[in-house]
Structure 1
Amino acid sequence: METRSWARDGLRAVGGGAGTAGLAITNLLLVAVALVALVLIPVPFLGLALLPWVMTLVRKRADLERRLAARAGIAIARPYRPRPERALPGGWRRFRWIVTDPATWRDLAWLVPGAVVGLALGLLAVAVPLYGVEGISLLPLWLYLSVDWYGYGFFWPIENLPQALLSLPQGVLFLAIGLTAAPLLLRVNALFTRLFLAPTKAAELRLRVAQLTVTRADTVDAQAAELRRIERDLHDGAQARLVSLGMTIGLAEELLERDPAAARRLLIEAREVSSTALLELRNLVRGIHPPVLAERGLDGAVRALAMSLPMPIAVELDLPGRPETPVESAAYFAVAEALANVVRHSRAGSARVSIRYAGGLLALVVSDDGRGGADPSRGTGLRGIQRRLAAFDGTMTVSSPPGGPTVVMMELPCVLSSPKTSPSSGTA
Structure 2
Amino acid sequence: MTTAAAPAAPSPTTSARPRVASPLRVAGAIAQMAALAVVGPALFTVLITLLATGIGLIPIFGIGLLLVLAGVYVLYAMSWLEHARVEGLYDFGLALPLPRRSGRPGFGGFLRTVWQQFIDGATWRGIASLAVSTILGFVVLALISGFASGVVLAFAPLFASTDEISLFGTGLSIPVGWGVAAGIVQVLIGAAGLVGLGILHGILARAILVPSQEAQLAEAARASSAQRDGAVRAADVERTRIERDLHDGVQPRLVSVGMTLGLAQQKIESDPDAAKELISEAHTSTKAAITELRQLARGIHASVLDDRGLDAALSALVARSHVPVQVDVRLDGRCSRTAEAAVYFAIAEALTNAAKHARAGSARVVVRLRDGNTLWARVEDDGIGGATIVPGGGLDGIMNRVLAAGGQARLDSPAGGPTSLEVSVPCAS
The TM-score bracket by the shorter chain reads: 0.3 to 0.5
TM-score with structure 1 setting the length: 0.47
TM-score of the two chains, using structure 2 as the length reference = 0.47
Q: Which one has the largest radius of gyration?
A: 2
